[in-house]
Chains A and B, each alone.
Chain A
Amino acid sequence: MSVEFDRKIHATLADTKLQLAIYASTARLKDGRLSSVAPQTLPDYQELRTQANALKKHALENLDYYLEEFERNVVAHGGKVVYCKDGTDVADFVLALAKERGARLIVKSKSMTTEEVDLNERLEHHGLESVETDLGEYILQLAHEKPYHIVAPALHKTRYDVAEIFTHSLHVPSETVPEKQTAIARAVLREKFLAADIGISGANFLVADAGAVVLIENEGNARLTTTAPRIHIAIAGIEKVIPRAQDLATFLKLLARSATGQLLSVYTSFLAGPKRAGEIDGPEEFYVVLLDNGRTKLLPDRSKRQSLYCIRCGACLNTCPVYRKIGGHSFPWVYSGPIGAIITPQFMGVSHEPGLPFASSLCGACAEVCPVKIDIPKVLLELRSDVKKSETREKQNRLEKVAFRVFAWVMTHPRWYELAGRVAAAMAPSEDGGWIRTVPGIMNFGPLKAWLSQRDLPPPPPKSFRELWRRR
């Protein structure tokens, strides 16, 4: 575990106000889920989970096929698909398009995928204004913070924190009633929506047979983002593709229930291309960015591949006894909780935060609530084993490095080099030409012993080249 991870965890545990905020919010979300998936409300809940799992498995096993089908259909409806390998690719694409169209102001709806690649920072660095419009995300953008939770990003902020943030950034009188705070944000953001040149959204699903992007939200900011500006860009991970529009019957029933306990979220937008002839409003240009950013690294291993089934409902966070104590910002990357613990090491490499797969009691609560049935504890165990392997490798590497440094020093100091040669000759096995398989007595321990256990050395010559040269 890194010092940083440890420090953040302790800071969160010591903050009683924060502990209460995390506990209360996750409890509410958790209870909402529980009542909405209860047998009397959703009798076929388990069958839906099984179907969702089978669909995700199938989609990933044939991922190249569905991405190409999706692309064909987007193009058929007058949109464009752009494949990007990382955040730099995404930013380059958006910047080039903005420049070509003379765009300055971008409105954004909530997207964890864009958080992953720090899109706002990258765009703002090049002089564009990129405004988050989901209320929670907007509060965090003003506070220069990362999301605390994948569904409720500002879960850790109290109304008093929000009052302070608004007063400080928007220069409005202090207001501590959430209803009025929301009205302030609505007014500021409404102006932005109507003036924006480009709207950037994420995607909850990409529907292959329709070439459609599906967005799920409660506030209406994603609808505004994709309706008001002339250009809509959806940025999605490649794993978001599902085969058919009809599969939404399965996923939509599970997502809102698992996330907040609603039967359906307030708005589900199914967007297939720009505004068509005869339609009154909607964007004139429609782009879908398909982002890899490490996802293809998760595909080869059949078991770990299931980490890509995630539909980002947040249920595993709300139910996780560890997340509920250490909170979202203790986690080393944008994804927190059990799902963060399994995807971060795979996207960023296990040594990014070796403590992460161990920050779990393996109680299994996450797997029980996951609507797509990801076996999170199993993947955690596999990652723990990966961490151990990489640590052993690293330890070995470190020792080897030391050994080679000593070797280099000896090589460049003639007197020591000669002495070493003589010592080696003295250590050589008695029978002529015998290989060195072990070293005698006091030197035969620890690293050298381990190193020689897999290697044999040719015997050193009785007289060194240097000696022979001098006697010539």
Chain B
Amino acid sequence: MSRDSILHRIRTAVGRSADQPPAEAPAARLRIPEVPLEARIASVVARVEALAGKAVRTSDPCAWVAEAIRGKTAVASNAPFLAQCGITGLAGVRSGITDPEELRELCATADVGITGADYVLADTGTLVMLSSGREARMISLLPPAHLAVVERERILTGLDELLTVLPNPAVETSSMVLITGPSRTADIEQILVRGVHGPGQITVVIAD
């Protein structure tokens, strides 16, 4: 069997025996800077915009989203926060879907996918999405535009803090995706084109 012969070859090559404990691994390198919330918010806005996304702060996310999706069709995730602030009840918004086939069809035709975010990374402007019953994978992927409404307490300093809060994301979910800006390619002559397979537009609404 390939498994045993490959493992055997490896052990012979590196001089280890089966069931031998590993040498001690270098300590994980995690550095979390002190950054006040205001500065973290400012950083998210700056980073998202640097990537040609849109980022806004608002105390009334529902009104802002209503304006942004006027005349468009949208699919919203089951994140409780979206229902709480009334976004799932807006005209043109479908929500509460748990059947993957139904969701796939809706996402394939909707203009906008509306989600929350489990975390946001300030230093890179990254949305962190964990797949669950509240957040499906497709909503931030199939529609041409992705709009994420995030609570400001969710904004972490960066990757190091994320992996400190979630040392092993696999405990929580089968899929964690970090989204940093709109889908893009530079495969033809290194010319930047947005919206190849994923959403070409990304909007981060920070609920104050």
Once the chains bind, are B159 and A253 in contact (CB under 8 Å)?
yes
Which of A267-275, A368-376, A446-454 touches B? A267-275
- Inter-chain contact B25/A55, CB cutoff 8 Å: yes
Within 8 A of B (CB), among A167-203: 178-179, 181-182, 185-186, 189-190, 193-194
Cα A194 to Cα B135 with chains together (Å): 20
Closest residue of chain A to B184 (Cβ to Cβ) is A218
User: Across the interface, do B10 and A224 meet the contact criterion of CB distance under 8 Å?
Assistant: no
- Output the nearest chain A residue to B105 by Cβ-Cβ distance: A194
Q: Mark B174-189, 1 if CB is under 8 A from A, else 0.
A: 1111111111111111
Task: Tell me which residues across on chain A come within 8 A of B195, comparing CB atoms.
Answer: 182, 186
| Closest beta carbon of chain B to A215's beta carbon, Å | 9
A12 sits at the interface (CB 8 A): no
Total interface residues on A, using CB and 8 Å? 101
B interface secondary structure, majority: loop
Residues of B within 8 A of A73 (CB): 170
- Chain B 20-52 near chain A by CB (<8 Å), digits 1 or 0: 111101101111000000000000000100000
* Interface check A395, CB cutoff 8 A: no
With A61-B14, A65-B21 given, is the CB distance from A264 to B178 under 8 Å? yes
Chain A residues near B177 (CB, 8 Å)?
223, 267-270
Is residue A64 contacting chain B, with contact meaning CB distance below 8 A? Answer: yes
Chain-B contact segment, one of A82-90, A346-354, A356-364, A426-434:
A82-90
Contacts A153-B187, A162-B188, A246-B167 given; indicate if A267 touches B179 (C-beta within 8 A): yes
Smallest CB-CB separation from B8: which chain A residue? A64
The contact string, 1 if C-beta is below 8 Å from chain A, for chain B 56-98, is 0000000000000000000000100000000000000000011
Residues of A within 8 A of B5 (CB): 85
When the two chains form their complex, are residues A51 and B197 in contact, meaning their CB atoms are under 8 A apart? Answer: no
Q: Give the CA-CA distance A224 to B197 in the complex, in Å.
A: 8
B203 at the interface (CB under 8 A from A): no
Contact present for B188 and A135 (CB under 8 Å): yes
A268 to B131, CA, bound (A): 14
* Interface status of A35 (Cβ within 8 A of chain B): no
Nearest opposing residue in chain A for B99, CB measure: A280
Please pick, from B28, B138, B164, B185, the residue contacting A244 in the complex, using a CB distance under 8 A.
B28
**Distance A183 CA – B25 CA, assembled complex (angstroms):** 46
Q: Determine whether the beta carbon of B169 is less than 8 Å from that of A299.
A: no
Indicate the size class of the contact surface on chain B. Answer: 35 or more
Contact with B along A23-42 (1 / 0, CB 8 A): 01100110000000000000
Q: Are A249 and B188 in contact (CB under 8 A)?
A: no
Query: What residues of chain A lie closer than 8 Å to B183, measured between beta carbons?
Result: 218-220, 266-267
Q: What residues of chain A lie closer than 8 Å to B1, measured between beta carbons?
A: 83
Is A394 located at the chain interface by the 8 A CB criterion?
A: no
Residues of A within 8 A of B159 (CB): 248-249, 252-253, 264
Asked if residues A281 and B181 are in contact (CB atoms below 8 Å), the reply is no
- A210-243, CB under 8 A of B: which get 1 and which 0? 1110000011110110011000000000100001
Q: Please count the residue pairs between chain A and chain B whose beta carbons lie under 8 angstroms apart in the complex.
A: 269
By CB atoms of chain B within 10 A, which of A248, A265, A275, A279 has the most? Answer: A279
Residues of B within 8 A of A228 (CB): 104
Q: Mark A142-183, 1 if CB is under 8 A from B, else 0.
A: 000000000011110111001000000000000000110110
A181 vs B20: C-alpha distance in the bound complex, in angstroms? 54
Residues of chain A in range 406-432 having any CB-CB distance to chain B below 8 Å:
none
The verdict on A384 contacting chain B, using a C-beta distance below 8 Å, is no
Would you call A274 and B20 a contact (CB within 8 A)?
no
Any B CB within 8 A of the CB of A355? no
With A65-B20, A249-B163, A266-B182: A51-B141 Cβ-Cβ less than 8 Å: no
Question: Does B118 make an interface contact (CB < 8 A)?
Answer: no
Per-position 1/0 for B183-201, Cβ under 8 A of A: 1111111110101111100
- Tell me whether B169 and A245 are in contact (CB under 8 A): yes
A58, chain B: closest CB distance, angstroms = 5
Q: A266-B180, A292-B6, A296-B6 are in contact. Are A276 and B173 (CB under 8 A)?
A: yes
- Within the complex, the shortest CB–CB distance from B194 to chain A, in Å, comes to 9
CA distance A133 to B197 in the complex (A): 9
Q: Does A62 contact B (CB under 8 A)?
A: yes
Given known contacts A276-B174, A280-B136, A83 and B6 CB-to-CB distance under 8 angstroms: yes
Q: How far is the CA of A274 from the CA of B131 in the complex (A)?
A: 11
- What is the interface of chain A, defined by CB distance below 8 A to chain B? 21, 24-25, 28-29, 44, 47-48, 51, 54-55, 58, 60-68, 73, 77, 83-85, 89, 133-136, 139, 152-155, 157-159, 162, 178-179, 181-182, 185-186, 189-190, 193-194, 207, 209-212, 218-221, 223-224, 227-228, 238, 243-250, 252-253, 260, 262-276, 278-282, 286, 290, 292, 296, 299-300
Of the A-B pairs whose beta carbons lie under 8 Å apart in the complex, a sample of 29, sorted by A's number, is A54-B26, A55-B26, A61-B23, A62-B14, A62-B16, A65-B22, A83-B2, A84-B2, A153-B187, A155-B190, A178-B189, A182-B185, A182-B193, A221-B197, A224-B197, A224-B198, A245-B167, A264-B178, A266-B198, A268-B177, A268-B180, A269-B177, A270-B169, A272-B170, A279-B136, A279-B173, A279-B175, A280-B98, A286-B174
